[in-house]
């Protein structure tokens, strides 16, 4: 394991870095949340706005987190404290830690459902079930208190075990090999879904924008989905970037991760909507249970459905794990680095707290049925607070920090890897009496300097203004 200059764990291989960041981004957000939010928000038009947000806001926020994390080499709270001592900026880290708890709470509910579906797949629990039966199986599970709670606790414990096995060994190893398989399965599922009779309407729903469906809350929802799915706005990627080596190309990593994330979400959409229309379901009907009510039907109508079903839910659970470890790591890194609590105890504290809050989320459809605000139960409120409030707020503060507070030379050094390379060039020059041409030297410093001005313009002006407008518009303070 590579130890950084300050004795912290680090990622070792380039592939490992991209995979770990992608492992954080790719998870239930793409495969579970994306389809049901698209369904509730009217389809194609939402998809377009979401894509625009990923490109214009998501990638710059992700890159900002990378810059903060790698330059400070600290957890999300400590990074702000180190770069901006004696200011209020570390509060952004606090928002991130709160967001991490809220997300862990409801994320582990859905991940628990996924584990139960692994079990149901293994025992062939959907054999011969009609579409109506599949829905009933889901609803009776969702509304039974104990089972979902049991699986949720298993999932939280699994996350803790991986966290405790260390940064590189834990994260790198698990994310590397398995995700390509999930993508292959999604492709197979998509092919089956689009060849079901009556499926064309699903593709139409997903890809034909109907802008009459767009309202201010839908726009905020697209922003929330973009941020949630990219794992940005709460410091998960600040924490991960703090383990990146100096030679990692931050901008290309942010592009690669974001593009993979979007493609997998769209692939999930292509697997779900055609199947849903073929089954005669309405897109806004599904709610958080959407994939659990649709996919078992698709599995039944494909060759090798049993094995595909088992593999799919296992891989989905692993995708959820590689995301939840990045969420839990935000809290554990904070507790261990800032409050000097041993990693083991820090993990234990986090697990207990997350399990406690998570319980309320999982019991939203049973014990706490009817508790909530308006149409929103506890689960919905947790999800809304994290995705549509805390993450955009965190993202807003993160871009303002990088755009207006940080030393521009530091930002530039991080984006061009000059900090390290300048030293290397200097050292080589020293020993070789510097007989290289200007051109040779330029090669060392040319890393992605082109994106700098575009990036700066977005993080200074476009992103803060856009996020603020989307927010104020959704809560009705301004009307555009």
Q: Residues in the site for ligand PHE, rule: CB under 6 A?
A: 24-25, 27-30, 103, 228-229, 231, 234, 236, 323, 326-327
Task: State in angstroms the smallest separation of the CB of 76 from ligand PHE.
Answer: 11
Please identify, using beta-carbon distances, which residue of 236 and 411 lies nearer to ligand PHE. Answer: 236
Measured distance CA(395)–CA(149) in Å, rounded = 32
Q: Residues 421, 447: contact at Cβ < 8 Å? A: yes
Please identify, using beta-carbon distances, which residue of 234 and 474 lies nearer to ligand PHE. Answer: 234
CA-nearest of 55, 22, 382, 61 to 232 is: 61
Please identify, using beta-carbon distances, which residue of 117 and 126 lies nearer to ligand PHE. Answer: 117
* Run of H or E residues at 273: helix 250-278
- DSSP state for residue 212 in the 8-state scheme: G
Q: How far is CA 48 from the centre of its chain?
A: 19
* φ/ψ of residue 258, rounded to 5: -65, -40
Per-position DSSP letters for 294-342, written without gaps between them = HHHHHHHTSTTHHHHHHHHHHHHHHHHHHHHHHHHHHHHHHHHHHS---
Task: State in angstroms the smallest separation of the CB of 401 from ligand PHE.
Answer: 18
Please identify, using beta-carbon distances, which residue of 236 and 398 lies nearer to ligand PHE. Answer: 236
Please give the C-alpha separations between residue 308 and each of 35, 187, 230, in angstroms, as whole numbers.
Answer: 20, 12, 27
- DSSP state for residue 373 in the 8-state scheme: E
Please identify, using beta-carbon distances, which residue of 232 and 447 lies nearer to ligand PHE. Answer: 232
CA-nearest of 7, 44, 100 to 214 is: 44
3-state secondary structure of 81: helix
3-state secondary structure of 371: coil
Task: State in angstroms the smallest separation of the CB of 7 from ligand PHE.
Answer: 26
Task: State in angstroms the smallest separation of the CB of 214 from ligand PHE.
Answer: 23
* φ/ψ of residue 377, rounded to 5: -85, -175
Task: State in angstroms the smallest separation of the CB of 23 from ligand PHE.
Answer: 9
Measured distance CA(80)–CA(142) in Å, rounded = 40
Measured distance CA(258)–CA(265) in Å, rounded = 11
Measured distance CA(431)–CA(314) in Å, rounded = 55
Residue with tokens 């300048």: 422
Q: Residues 115, 151: contact at Cβ < 8 Å? A: yes
Please give the C-alpha separations between residue 95 and each of 88, 100, 299, 343, in angstroms, as whole numbers.
Answer: 12, 9, 41, 21
Task: State in angstroms the smallest separation of the CB of 323 from ligand PHE.
Answer: 4
Please identify, using beta-carbon distances, which residue of 96 and 305 lies nearer to ligand PHE. Answer: 96
Please identify, using beta-carbon distances, which residue of 35 and 305 lies nearer to ligand PHE. Answer: 35
Please identify, using beta-carbon distances, which residue of 20 and 28 lies nearer to ligand PHE. Answer: 28
Task: State in angstroms the smallest separation of the CB of 324 from ligand PHE.
Answer: 7
Measured distance CA(410)–CA(401) in Å, rounded = 12
Please identify, using beta-carbon distances, which residue of 22 and 470 lies nearer to ligand PHE. Answer: 22
Greatest pairwise CA separation for the chain in angstroms: 78
Task: State in angstroms the smallest separation of the CB of 387 from ligand PHE.
Answer: 8
> Burial of 317 by CB count in 10 Å (0-12 exposed, 13-18 middle, 19+ buried)?
buried
Please identify, using beta-carbon distances, which residue of 160 and 216 lies nearer to ligand PHE. Answer: 160
Task: State in angstroms the smallest separation of the CB of 395 from ligand PHE.
Answer: 11
Task: State in angstroms the smallest separation of the CB of 27 from ligand PHE.
Answer: 2
Q: Give the residue at shortest CB distance from ligand PHE.
A: 29
Task: State in angstroms the smallest separation of the CB of 433 from ligand PHE.
Answer: 50
Please identify, using beta-carbon distances, which residue of 159 and 248 lies nearer to ligand PHE. Answer: 159
């Amino acid at each position: 394991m590579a130890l950084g200059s300050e004795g912290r764990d680090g990622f070792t291989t380039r592939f490992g870095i991209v995979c770990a960041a992608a492992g954080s981004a790719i998870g239930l957000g793409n495969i579970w949340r994306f389809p049901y939010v698209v369904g509730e928000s009217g389809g194609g038009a939402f998809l377009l706005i979401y894509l625009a947000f990923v490109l214009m806001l998501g990638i710059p926020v992700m890159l900002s987190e990378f810059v903060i994390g790698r330059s400070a080499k600290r957890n999300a709270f400590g990074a702000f404290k180190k770069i901006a001592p004696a200011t209020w900026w570390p509060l952004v880290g606090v928002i991130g830690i709160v967001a991490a708890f809220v997300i862990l709470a409801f994320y582990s509910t859905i991940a628990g459902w996924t584990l139960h579906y692994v079990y149901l797949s293994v025992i062939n629990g959907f054999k011969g079930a009609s579409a109506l039966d599949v829905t009933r199986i889901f609803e009776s599970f969702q509304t039974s208190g104990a089972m979902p709670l049991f699986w949720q606790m298993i999932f939280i414990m699994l996350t803790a075990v991986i966290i405790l096995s260390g940064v590189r060994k834990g994260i790198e190893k698990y994310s590397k090999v398995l995700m390509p398989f999930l993508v292959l399965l999604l492709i197979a599922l998509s092919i089956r879904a689009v060849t079901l009779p009556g499926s064309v309407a699903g593709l139409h729903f997903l890809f034909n924008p109907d802008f009459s469906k767009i309202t201010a809350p839908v726009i905020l929802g697209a922003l929330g989905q973009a941020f949630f799915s990219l794992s940005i706005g709460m410091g998960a990627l600040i924490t991960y970037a703090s383990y990146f080596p100096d030679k990692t190309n931050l901008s290309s990593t942010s592009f690669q991760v974001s593009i993979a994330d979007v493609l997998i979400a769209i692939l999930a959409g292509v697997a779900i909507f055609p199947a849903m229309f073929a089954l005669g379901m309405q897109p806004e009907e599904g709610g958080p249970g959407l994939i659990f009510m649709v996919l078992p039907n698709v599995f039944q109508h494909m060759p090798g459905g049993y094995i595909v079903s088992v593999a799919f839910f296992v891989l989905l659970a692993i995708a959820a794990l590689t995301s939840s470890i990045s969420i839990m790591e935000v809290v554990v890194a904070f507790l261990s680095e800032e409050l000097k609590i041993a990693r083991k105890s820090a993990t234990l504290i986090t697990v207990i707290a997350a399990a406690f809050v998570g319980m309320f989320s999982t019991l939203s459809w049973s014990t706490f049925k009817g508790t909530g605000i308006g149409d929103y139960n506890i689960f919905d409120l947790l999800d809304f607070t994290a995705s549509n409030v805390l993450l955009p707020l965190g993202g807003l503060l993160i871009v303002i920090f990088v755009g207006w507070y940080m030393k521009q030379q530091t930002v530039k050094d991080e984006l061009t890897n000059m900090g390290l390379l300048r030293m290397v060039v200097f050292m080589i020059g020293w020993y070789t009496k510097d007989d290289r041409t200007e051109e040779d030297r330029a090669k060392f410093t040319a890393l992605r300097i082109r994106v700098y001005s575009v990036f700066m313009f977005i993080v200074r002006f476009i992103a803060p203004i856009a996020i603020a407008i989307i927010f104020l518009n959704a809560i009705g303070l301004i009307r555009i």
